[in-house]
Structure 1
Amino acid sequence: MTDNALLAGPALRRLRKREGLTQAAMAASLGISPSYLNLIERNQRPLSARVLVQVIERFDFDPRSLREDEAIGGIDGLVRRMTDKRFADLGIDREEVQEFLAAAPQAAAAFARLYDTAGDAAVRSDDPIAVTRQAIERWQNHFADLDHLAEAISDDLRLSRSDTGAALADRLREKHQLSVRILPAEVMPGLVHRLDLHNRQLQLSEMLPGAARRFQIARQVGALELRDEIETLTEGANLGSNEARKLFQEHVTDYAAAALLMPYRRFLRACEQTNYDVNILQRRFASSFDQIAQRLTTLQRVGERGLPFFCARFGRTGRIVHYTAGASGAVHPIDGARWPAWVPYAAFESRGSLLTQAVTFGEGEAIPKHWFTVARTVEVDGAACSARKAVVLGLEARFAGELAHARGISLDPKDAVPLGVGCPRCGRVDCLTPAPPRLASTAF
C-alpha cells in the first residue's frame, strides 16, 4: 500500500532547528537516512504518512502547522495579493506563486502580512467603502456563526408557518412587540423603512415590492436577535473609522436577513437541485434577483461549499455601486475600469431579460481570467423605483459547465469576449465598443 504524502520541507526544517538537531540526528530518530531527510526538507521528496506519524510521536509535532498557509488564504489568497497593479510588470504566474508558498511559507506569510497592513493604511485614510469591502473579502463574505444562528431561527419559524415572511412578521410582533405597518409614500418621503419605537412599529413604504418588504422584516428580526453576533463581527473587523464600522455593520445585518430568508443548507440544496437556476430560486425563496445574487456569494461553509460567485451592481452611468468578491478571487476594478462590451451594460437595453456571456478579464497572469457571467436589470426599491440598476453574477468558467444558465453557451476560452484590463488602461485601438471619455474617467 502506498502512503499518502505531502510536501512539508520548510515545516520539518524549522522543527529540526528548534530541537537543535543535525540532519543526521533527526534522521536517526525517525529511522530514515540523512540523505532522504535532506530531500524532504528541500521539498524534493514528500513527507509520507509513516514518517509524519514518527515526527508527531517523537517531537510532539502539531500536524496543523502543515497547513500554516491557510492563515493567508492558501495559494488563492497569495495569488490575489500578487495581482496588485504594482506587480503587473513582473509577470508572476500562479505556478511561480505556488512554488514560493511551498518553498518558503513563512516568507510568504510575512509578505502577505506586510501587504495587508500596507493596504489597510492606504485605503483607511480616505475610503471607508474600500476598507469595508476589504474587510468583507477577508471573510470571503461568509460568516459561519451568523449563518448557523440564523438557520436555527429559520427552522423555528418553519415549525409555525410555511410562509417565512409572515412567520417573521409574527415573530417580530410576538417576541419584540413590534408590528409591521405599510404607509403611503407621501407619509415617508425619501424613506423605504423606519423604526418607530414610540408606536412600536416597523413602518414600510408602500413603494416596496413584496420581496423587499420581507427582507426589511427579516433585517429587523436579525438586528434584534443576532445583535451580539453582529456587534462581535463588527468589532473584530478592527476598522479605523466610524463610517467604515457602520458600513460593515449594515452589510452584516443585511447578511443576517438573507440568511433568515434563505437558510444556508436549504438554499444550497436548492441551488444544487436546480443547477443554480436563479429564476427558480427567486420563486422558491420569494426573493428578488439581486437578493439571490448576493446570497450566492456566501456559500463557503466548511464541508458544504457552493460555487464561488462574485456579484456586482452597476448604475445607469456604468459606475459600480456595489461589489462582492466572495470566494471567487475576482479583483474589484478600483481604478475606474469600465468594460462597455460586458453584458451588464447591454442589460440596460434589455430591461428585465436575463443575459449571459463568457468573458476574459483581469490583470496579471496569476488570477483566473475566464468567467461565465449572468446579468439583468432590477428596479431600485422604494420611492425612486423608476430607477434601475444592473446586477451581474460571475463564476470561473471552469465551474460553470453544469449551470442551468450556461446551457448552449460556449465555455471555450477562445470564444470568450476579451474585456482586457478596463478602458482607462486598455490601450486597444481596435475595440468595437470604445468607452466615451466620461466612462473612461479614472474617478470612481
Structure 2
Amino acid sequence: MVAQRKLFLGSRLKRLRRDRGLNQSAMATALGISASYLNHLERNQRPVTVGILLRLAEAFDLDIKAFAAEGGESGGADQLAEIFSDTMLADLGVSRAELIELSDNSPAVAEGVTRLYTALRELHRRPAEEGEGEGGADPRVLITPETWVRDYIQAQRNHFPELEDGAETLGGALGDPLSVAEPLRRRLKEAYGVEARVVDPEMLADASQHFDPQTRKLMLSALLRSENRTFGLAYQLALLEFGPLIERMVDMARPPDIGSRRLLHMSFANYAAGAIMLPYGKFLRAAEEHRYALDRLCGQFGANIEQVAHRLTTLGRAGARGVPFFMLRVDPAGNISKRYAGESFPFSHFGGTCPRWHLHAAFQVPGQTIRQLIETPDGQRFFTISRTVERPIRPDLSDDSLLAVGLGCDIRYASRIAYADGLDLALTPATPVGPACAICPRMQCAYRATPPAGRTLAVHENRKTISPYPFLPA
C-alpha cells in the first residue's frame, strides 16, 4: 500500500493567521485544537491532517484544494529567487530547493530578506546626493510609500471586509447604480453640506478634484470622464462617511512614515469608493450572471473598464467569493502603475511582465479584448484577457490617452468567464511565459533580455542560437 504524502503547511497556516489578525490561541480555538498543537503545525513539526483541513475550510471559508496544493508556497520562493538572481548575490549559487525551504520553514526570515532587498533597490533609485552628509539616509524610509502600501494591500489579498460592509449598505441605499452620480451628489449635500460642481481645469492647476473643508465645496475637473467624476463623488463621500473607520484601519496597519500613512488612507478611500459604486452583493451577482463580461458590467453599473477590472480583484468575501483575478495596468512604455491579485500572481514582484504575455499587444488593437492562455515554468496555466483603457483625465490631443489593463486567473476558473467561450481549454496551446528573464529557466526563448542568474552561458562564436543568451542546463 502506497503511503499518502504528508502535508506540511506551516508557512501557509502562519500567513492565514496573520491575514486574519489572529494570535495562535484564537486560531487554535477556532479550529478546536490546542495552541501548542497549532504551534507544532506552524513549525512543520506535525503534518496537517484531513481533519484539520476540513476544520480550516469550515472556520475560514477556504478553498482547501488551493490551500493544500503542492507548491502552494511557490510565490515566496519565486520572490526570493528574483532577489538572489541579482548580480550582488548570484555568485552564491543558492538553489531553488534552498529557497523553497527558507520560504516554507522560515517565512518571517524570508519576508525580512525581501524587505531589506526592497529597501536597497529604493535607495539605489534615489539621486546620489540623498543619503550623503551627516547621518546618511534614514533607514526607516528606504522603502517608498507606494511600495509599502502595495505590499500591505496585497498581504490582505486586496479585500477589506469592514469597508465592504459599510459601502454595501450605503451603495444599496443610493438606488440604481447606473444613475448613482446624482444620489451621491445629493447625499454629499444633504448629509454633509458639501456642494459638488464641475469647474474649468485652470481652477484646479494640476489637480483633478479638490475639496475645501472651509467652504464645503468639492470641485471636479471638466476634463474628467463621466465615470471618473462619479468615482470622485464616491471618493469624497467615502472620506466623510468612513473617516473614523479608515483612521482605525490605518492605525492598525502601522505605516512606517507619514507618506505611507497618507497614501494608505487614500487607498482605503479609493477602495471604499469602488465598493460604493459597485456594491459587493449586487456586483458579484451581476458578474456571475454575465460571466465576467466587462462591457456588460460597465453598462449595468455606469463604470468604466478599469473600475470594473479593479473591482474584480477584490471579491474575496468569505462565503461569497468571485473568480480570484490578478490585474496589471501598464502604459505604452511598459511601466506598471497598478498591480493587484485576489490569489496567485505569476509575474515578477520587482520587475515588469514577460514580453510573451499579450498585455502590451493591446495597444495595437485599441478597444479590442485579447484572450490568451499562458503557462508558467512550473506548469501552472492561467487564462488572461487584455485591453486598452482611457486615462481618467482627457489629455491634450498631443498626449497618449491609452493605458492597458490585463486580467487573469487560474485556468480552473476559465469556464466561468465569457471570454473563454469557444476555446477548448484542454487542446488550446498555452504560451510559455516566465516571471522575469533573470529568474526564468526557459532555455529556448527568443524574447530573453538577460541571461538567467547562476547559469553558465553557452555562447560560441561559430554558432548563433534562437535565444540571445543561451545557457547550460542546471
SS in 1 for 2:183: helix
Match of 1:347 in 2: 362
Given that 1:337 and 1:424 are in contact with CA atoms closer than 8 Å, whether structure 2 keeps it comes out as no
Match of 1:119 in 2: 114
SS in 2 for 1:291: helix
1:207 to 179, 203, 223: 223
CA distance in 2, matches of 1:332, 1:286: 31
Match of 1:225 in 2: 241
Structure 1: runs of 5 or more not aligned: 1-5, 19-40, 53-62, 101-106
C-alpha distance after superposition, 1:1-49 (max 9, x if no partner): xxxxx9999999x96999xxxxxxxxxxxxxxxxxxxxxx976986699
Match of 1:387 in 2: 401
Match of 2:294 in 1: 278
1:411 and 1:127, CA in 2 relative to 1: closer, same or farther beyond 3 A? farther
Greater fraction of residues in helix: 1
C-alpha deviation, 1:371, in angstroms: 1.1
CA distance in 2, matches of 1:9, 1:206: 53
C-alpha deviation, 1:182, in angstroms: 0.6
1:297 and 1:291, CA in 2 relative to 1: closer, same or farther beyond 3 A? same
C-alpha distance after superposition, 1:65-114 (max 9, x if no partner): 9989x9xx955774432333338964559xx98xx9xxxxxx98862233
Given that 2:330 and 2:336 are in contact with CA atoms closer than 8 Å, whether structure 1 keeps it comes out as yes
1:16 and 1:377, CA in 2 relative to 1: closer, same or farther beyond 3 A? closer
Residue type of the partner of 2:143?
D
Match of 1:185 in 2: 201
Over the aligned positions, Cα root-mean-square deviation in angstroms equals 4.1
C-alpha deviation, 1:345, in angstroms: 0.7
Given that 1:312 and 1:393 are in contact with CA atoms closer than 8 Å, whether structure 2 keeps it comes out as yes
Given that 1:179 and 1:200 are in contact with CA atoms closer than 8 Å, whether structure 2 keeps it comes out as yes
Match of 2:348 in 1: 333
C-alpha deviation, 1:140, in angstroms: 0.3
1:414 and 1:351, CA in 2 relative to 1: closer, same or farther beyond 3 A? closer
Match of 1:34 in 2: none
Match of 2:154 in 1: 137
Q: 2:172 aligned with 1:155, yes or no? A: yes
Given that 2:178 and 2:299 are in contact with CA atoms closer than 8 Å, whether structure 1 keeps it comes out as no
Residue type of the partner of 2:314?
T
C-alpha deviation, 1:417, in angstroms: 1.1
C-alpha deviation, 1:126, in angstroms: 3.0
Given that 2:209 and 2:218 are in contact with CA atoms closer than 8 Å, whether structure 1 keeps it comes out as yes
Stretches of 4+ moved more than 4 A in 1? 6-12, 14-18, 41-49, 63-68, 73-77, 87-93, 107-110, 424-430, 432-437
Counterparts of residues 259-298 of structure 1 (less than 5 Å): 259-298=275-314
2:78 to 83, 86, 89: 83
Q: TM-score w.r.t. structure 2 length? A: 0.70
CA distance in 2, matches of 1:429, 1:173: 62
**Structure of greater Rg:** 1
- Higher RCO (C-alpha under 8 Å, 6+ residues apart): 1
Q: TM-score w.r.t. structure 1 length? A: 0.74
1:380 and 1:46, CA in 2 relative to 1: closer, same or farther beyond 3 A? closer
Given that 1:141 and 1:324 are in contact with CA atoms closer than 8 Å, whether structure 2 keeps it comes out as yes
Residue type of the partner of 1:119?
T
Match of 2:91 in 1: none
Identity of aligned residues (%): 28
CA distance in 2, matches of 1:371, 1:17: 39
SS in 2 for 1:356: strand
